[in-house]
Chains A and B, each alone.
Chain A
Amino acid sequence: MIAYQSIGTALGMALFAWLMQTGLSGVDRKITARIQKRRGPVWYQNFRDVFKLLNKRSVTHGWIFDLGLLIALAGAIGTAMFMPMAGIIPLQGYDNFFMITYLAALGVFGRALSAGASGNPLAAIGVMRGLTQNIGYKLPYMVLVIVLINYYKTSSISGIAALQQVQGWSVLKMPLGVLVAFISLHGMLGKKPFDTYLAPSEVASGPMVEFGGKYLGLLNIAHEIAVFVEISLFVNLFLGGGATLAEFLLKYMAVYLLSSCLGAVMGRLRVEQVVRFYYKVPIGLTILQVLLFTLLYGGVS
């Protein structure tokens, strides 16, 4: 049986995920501003925004609009509850990679459902763009992780992280793969040049177009938790997790801020360009990496 204590730890993990990532995205706003020669807001501006939004009246487009958003936030919180972080494993034995990926996808589906229910075609176009890109970046990412699971003989995320502490980080074994995974992560975070589904000037923020007030606030919370899950997965799977919490957080921040800096200096691609890019470069590199990995490490018996 799962002890109550574990559930407490899991909930704590979800809360920590939100607090840390919301703070960090404030820092991100500051850094982006400085790169663009602006002063930028204070680092805790995002907390102010969320609380302000949650206290504002808003409009709704019906019960599916509400339900989708609740599924989105519940999916994000549920996923974060399983995420291990530097030896803190909330629900020991169940931090399975496939489970976390599919539960996170439920959150994404909830967001899409809510956006579609708004009745705004711009939202539907945005979701279509997002899901199309999703095929681009999830495919190489998941194939690489399947290679890792096969190599480490476990699909537990904390297990893979722990093995890397002994055997060396995955990044040393599959440098190309980690590059691809980082490009995928950059896409998953919705950073430029891969933010076609948000594209304010084309599709008016896409899926988010109809969200305001508490809806935008909840969406923001779900987004920050989802970002935590994506980056933590990357750190755990490819960068060896962390022996201590400080090490883990340091890697986490490095990955996130690198992605932010890259995003700050790039322009947006058109949606076709994004799709073609993903189907050429990352998938090509993935195939090369899987072949190399199989040759060098045997990969399989």
Chain B
Amino acid sequence: MNWLSLIVSLFLTGIAGYFIARIKPSLGAWIAMAASCAALLLVLLGGDALPGGPAWGLIRFEVTPLGWFFSLLIILVFSTNGIGSLAAKGRQHREPVYTMLYLFALAASLGVFAAENWLALFIFWEIAVWSSTFAIGLGNGRKGSVSYFGMSLLGSLMMLFAILAMGSAYQTFQIREALTTALQNPGPALMVFILMLGSSMVKLGIMPFHIWMPPAYTEAPDEFAPALAGGLSKLGAFTAFLVSAYLPISGFMGGSWRVKGLPALSYGLVLLASASIVFGTLMAIRQEDAKKLLAYSSAANGGYIIIGILMGTSMSVSGALVHLLAHALATTTAFSVLAVIVRQTGTSRMDALGGLAHRMPLTFLAFLTAILSLVGLPPMLGFVSKWLILQSLASQGLFLPAAAVVFGSIGSMLYAFRILSTVFLGQLKPRHRALQESSPGVLLSLAILSGATMGLGVYPSGLIQYTAKIEASLGMSETVQTAGLSIRGINGNLNALLIMGAFLIGMVIAGAIFFKAPRSRKVDLMDTYTAGEFIYSPELYHYGTQFAAPFERIYEKLPSISRVYAALASLTDDLGNLVKYLFFSPMPSRTALWISVVTILLIWGEVL
């Protein structure tokens, strides 16, 4: 088995899935699930030694440790989401197309991660963008796919321009060769770097390119949102890693101004990513819709990844890789859980929910794992990545980005608690009393994802060693170090197992006191202290709307970037109307006017 045949068979399965699902729609989800699980098995067993396969014109594959890591990540997301989507019902009419697009998006992403040259990468990148655009469009609404496609187009154009510039200047499209040649020429190198990083930032949803995320995540079909948020948006990080490894800013702007040891350009971009963290966090806090909240939190988390990549130290790059995985696992879990909730209740508005943990306890536990990882608390994987990134920020003395990261971490407690408290805790609404626990398929996929989040959070050494291998393969002189069970930082060590041990000892002591004390009596949720009020309606007894109102009031006048885009759109619209008014008018007099103007100009040109 090689990479080429893996991708081709995924594409073919997608086409076959289309026809089979047309005959029997319920088989579509099974085919998507089986194909992605088979791919997972192949990539896992084959490891990064899997051969790329024969060249097929420009389409040539080469499996690198970085590409393998990303491939494993995306297949894990797609296969677990495939298992979880088996229970999804009520999409009979779109099942054939959905199955095909799902597998196309997966196959194309695998193509991106193993492409040997930029053109192949771009072709697969576009297939992934187009498949996901149409897949988003299968949901409810048009705005999501339009803004996704619009922003992706911007990103693709930036990338294409950079690729063609490198191709025409250096006569090569080979990924590493093109970038390392560009490194020798400061002029084009700057342009290529900015364009390439720009296209990654669009995909990762970094401010000011984040506007596609909230509508796309909200309107995409519920079973596609996990794949989009957890998997496909990570395509951007892949090219960011490639570009900053082979075309480092310090390489072509080494002699220029430096801030705290970083070239001024890197520092500026790090500040942009920091702004994305702060902005994403603030916006996430004031959302009323759970999916939008997670979308803005993704914009914030993209910031951590970009900061890690741009700092370029062994710890920060490893932190970015781990954060990528942690965020993928956590968002896939969170969106899968929301899919279950939306299927059962018909809404993802947080104030319309509440107390669901009492109806679906296992789903709640999975969601709790994801939320803890998003906040970055031990013993979850999100803690390991935040630790690595914060350690490297502290040792480099980048105080402003460090403040943004700290703000993002603490601020995430507020929105993370909000989503937990308003959706799963608090009062259960009477109309939700008949809700069911998720189906076994969903629970299995949630168990895999949460197990990975917690397992890797407690025992990250293997993962860290693999990130060290990636760093070595990218040509970094220093790689992140592990010693036994602990990660060795520049100014401190982390032993995640020890932390878990201390926590468990605490749990044993707490449990011993708890169970030694007299047993307590279980009371109903409504049986609470109401400060003398008489309240009988659970709907009114749930704190969910405008959750952090005192905090939101401070920044209610925060300018919105989408207004800038809207202004730009209306300007373009006006310009178009002007052109239409002047040149495409049905009035003969205006046409005659232009004919005479053009004639005069022609004669003038001849005479002069």
Can you offer 12 A-B residue contacts whose CB atoms are under 8 A?
A7-B505, A66-B514, A99-B387, A116-B421, A119-B528, A121-B426, A128-B418, A138-B410, A146-B406, A150-B397, A150-B399, A154-B491
A209-257 contacts to B (CB < 8 Å)? 209-210, 213-215, 217-218, 221
| A143 at interface by CB-CB < 8 Å | yes
Q: Which of B386, B522, B530 is the one whose CB lies under 8 Å from A62?
A: B522
Q: Which of A60, A93, A103, A125 is the one whose CB lies under 8 Å from B543?
A: A125
CA distance in complex: A195, B397 (Å) = 33
Residue interface mask A56-92, B partner, CB < 8 A = 1: 1111111110100111011111110110000000010
Q: Which interface class (under 10, 10 to 19, 20 to 34, 35 or more) fits B? A: 35 or more
| B566 at interface by CB-CB < 8 Å | no
| A192 at interface by CB-CB < 8 Å | no
Q: Do A300 and B420 contact each other (CB < 8 Å), given the known contacts A75-B503, A149-B394, A210-B529? A: no
CA distance in complex: A108, B529 (Å) = 23
18 more A-B residue pairs beyond the given contacts A71-B507, A131-B414, with a C-beta to C-beta distance below 8 A: A61-B522, A61-B528, A74-B506, A75-B503, A94-B493, A99-B494, A103-B377, A106-B372, A112-B417, A112-B421, A124-B425, A128-B414, A131-B417, A143-B403, A143-B406, A146-B393, A150-B395, A155-B489
- Output the nearest chain A residue to B417 by Cβ-Cβ distance: A112
Segment with Cβ contacts to A, from B124-132, B353-361, B441-449: B353-361
| A118 at interface by CB-CB < 8 Å | yes
Q: Say whether B355 contacts A77, CB under 8 Å.
A: no
- Closest Cβ–Cβ distance, residue A103 to chain B (whole Å): 6
CA distance in complex: A271, B511 (Å) = 35
| B523 at interface by CB-CB < 8 Å | yes
CA distance in complex: A93, B491 (Å) = 10
Residue interface mask B502-540, A partner, CB < 8 A = 1: 111111011101100111111101111111000000000
Segment with Cβ contacts to A, from B174-182, B339-347, B544-552: B544-552
Segment with Cβ contacts to B, from A35-43, A167-175, A272-280: A272-280
| B495 at interface by CB-CB < 8 Å | yes
Q: Say whether B547 contacts A122, CB under 8 Å.
A: no
Residues of B within 8 A of A79 (CB): 502
Q: Say whether B410 contacts A134, CB under 8 Å.
A: yes
Q: Say whether A98 contacts B421, CB under 8 Å.
A: no
- Output the nearest chain B residue to A97 by Cβ-Cβ distance: B492
- Closest Cβ–Cβ distance, residue A209 to chain B (whole Å): 6
Q: Say whether B426 contacts A54, CB under 8 Å.
A: no
Q: Say whether A128 contacts B518, CB under 8 Å.
A: no
Q: Which of A98, A139, A275 is the one whose CB lies under 8 Å from B387?
A: A98
| A117 at interface by CB-CB < 8 Å | yes
How many A-B residue pairs have C-beta atoms within 8 angstroms? Tell me.
257
- Output the nearest chain B residue to A279 by Cβ-Cβ distance: B554
The 10 closest A-B pairs by CB, nearest first: A300-B397, A74-B506, A77-B506, A119-B525, A121-B543, A214-B517, A73-B510, A116-B425, A155-B492, A78-B502
Q: Do A59 and B520 contact each other (CB < 8 Å), given the known contacts A113-B420, A128-B548, A210-B528? A: yes
| Interface residues in A, total, Cβ within 8 A | 91
CA distance in complex: A128, B356 (Å) = 20
- Output the nearest chain A residue to B355 by Cβ-Cβ distance: A119
Residues of A within 8 A of B387 (CB): 96, 98-99, 102
CA distance in complex: A150, B391 (Å) = 9
| B378 at interface by CB-CB < 8 Å | yes
| B498 at interface by CB-CB < 8 Å | yes
- Closest Cβ–Cβ distance, residue A80 to chain B (whole Å): 9
CA distance in complex: A61, B425 (Å) = 11
Q: Which of A55, A70, A98, A272 is the one whose CB lies under 8 Å from B553?
A: A272
Residues of B within 8 A of A97 (CB): 492
| B433 at interface by CB-CB < 8 Å | no
- Closest Cβ–Cβ distance, residue A201 to chain B (whole Å): 10
Q: Say whether A94 contacts B551, CB under 8 Å.
A: no
- Closest Cβ–Cβ distance, residue A55 to chain B (whole Å): 7
Q: Say whether A135 contacts B551, CB under 8 Å.
A: yes
- Output the nearest chain B residue to A132 by Cβ-Cβ distance: B551
Residues of B within 8 A of A118 (CB): 528
Q: Say whether A204 contacts B406, CB under 8 Å.
A: no
Residues of B within 8 A of A56 (CB): 518
| B407 at interface by CB-CB < 8 Å | yes
| B413 at interface by CB-CB < 8 Å | yes
| B67 at interface by CB-CB < 8 Å | no
| A47 at interface by CB-CB < 8 Å | no
- Output the nearest chain A residue to B399 by Cβ-Cβ distance: A290
- Output the nearest chain A residue to B503 by Cβ-Cβ distance: A78
- Output the nearest chain B residue to A276 by Cβ-Cβ distance: B554
Q: Which of A127, A215, A275, A300 is the one whose CB lies under 8 Å from B551?
A: A275
Q: Say whether A117 contacts B491, CB under 8 Å.
A: no
CA distance in complex: A119, B519 (Å) = 20
Q: Say whether B519 contacts A57, CB under 8 Å.
A: yes
Residues of B within 8 A of A75 (CB): 503, 506
- Closest Cβ–Cβ distance, residue B264 to chain A (whole Å): 15
Residues of B within 8 A of A5 (CB): none
| B542 at interface by CB-CB < 8 Å | yes
Q: Say whether A139 contacts B505, CB under 8 Å.
A: no
- Closest Cβ–Cβ distance, residue A207 to chain B (whole Å): 11
Q: Say whether A218 contacts B513, CB under 8 Å.
A: yes
| A24 at interface by CB-CB < 8 Å | no
| B600 at interface by CB-CB < 8 Å | no
| B402 at interface by CB-CB < 8 Å | yes
Q: Say whether A127 contacts B358, CB under 8 Å.
A: no
Q: Say whether A214 contacts B520, CB under 8 Å.
A: yes
Residues of A within 8 A of B505 (CB): 7, 11, 77-78, 81
Residues of B within 8 A of A106 (CB): 372, 377-378, 503
Q: Do A105 and B413 contact each other (CB < 8 Å), given the known contacts A59-B521, A66-B514, A218-B513? A: yes
Residues of A within 8 A of B406 (CB): 138-139, 142-143, 146
| B541 at interface by CB-CB < 8 Å | yes
Q: Say whether A119 contacts B547, CB under 8 Å.
A: no
- Closest Cβ–Cβ distance, residue B266 to chain A (whole Å): 15
CA distance in complex: A84, B172 (Å) = 58
Q: Say whether B417 contacts A70, CB under 8 Å.
A: no
Q: Do A117 and B425 contact each other (CB < 8 Å), given the known contacts A77-B505, A139-B406, A139-B410? A: yes
| A295 at interface by CB-CB < 8 Å | no
Q: Say whether A214 contacts B410, CB under 8 Å.
A: no
- Closest Cβ–Cβ distance, residue A250 to chain B (whole Å): 28
B405-448 contacts to A (CB < 8 Å)? 406-407, 410-411, 413-414, 417-418, 420-422, 425-427
